[in-house]
Amino acid sequence: MTAIPEIATLSETATHARRVALIVAIAFFMQLLDSTIISTSLPQMGASFGVSPVAMSIGITVYMLTMAVFVPLSGWLADRFGARNIFLL
């Protein structure tokens, strides 16, 4: 009778792995979407602020600098407090 719980455990493990893969894929998609939104919205933002879109390129620079700071910081935090806890934060 131990074969039935083992099959159920394998099924639960496969479901859990799919769920984790889906969550990570959504996170990567959101980061990619984040980085493209700012570049496509620069002309409209420039018009709203009354400056040329070229002058608004500071927005991309700030975004890239922010990512350069927070990606390594999030790695350190994940090592210190656990990746699951930081990811759920």
Q: Model confidence over 36-84: pLDDT tens digits?
A: 888 888 888 888 989 887 888 888 888 889 988 998 998 899 999 998 8
pLDDT tens sequence across 5-34 = 565 566 778 888 899 899 889 988 988 888
Our count of domains for the chain comes to 1
Q: What is the DSSP letter of 51?
A: S
pLDDT of residue 80: 93
Show the tokens assigned to 12. 């639960």
Q: Are 88 and 82 in contact (CB under 8 A)?
A: no
> Model-level pTM?
0.54
CA distance 58 to 69: 16
Between CA 76 and CA 69 the distance in angstroms is 11
Tell me the backbone φ, ψ of residue 23, rounded to 5 degrees.
Answer: -65, -45
Q: Is 56 exposed, middle or buried (0-12, 13-18, 19+ CB in 10 A)?
A: buried
Residue range of the domain that includes 30: 3-88
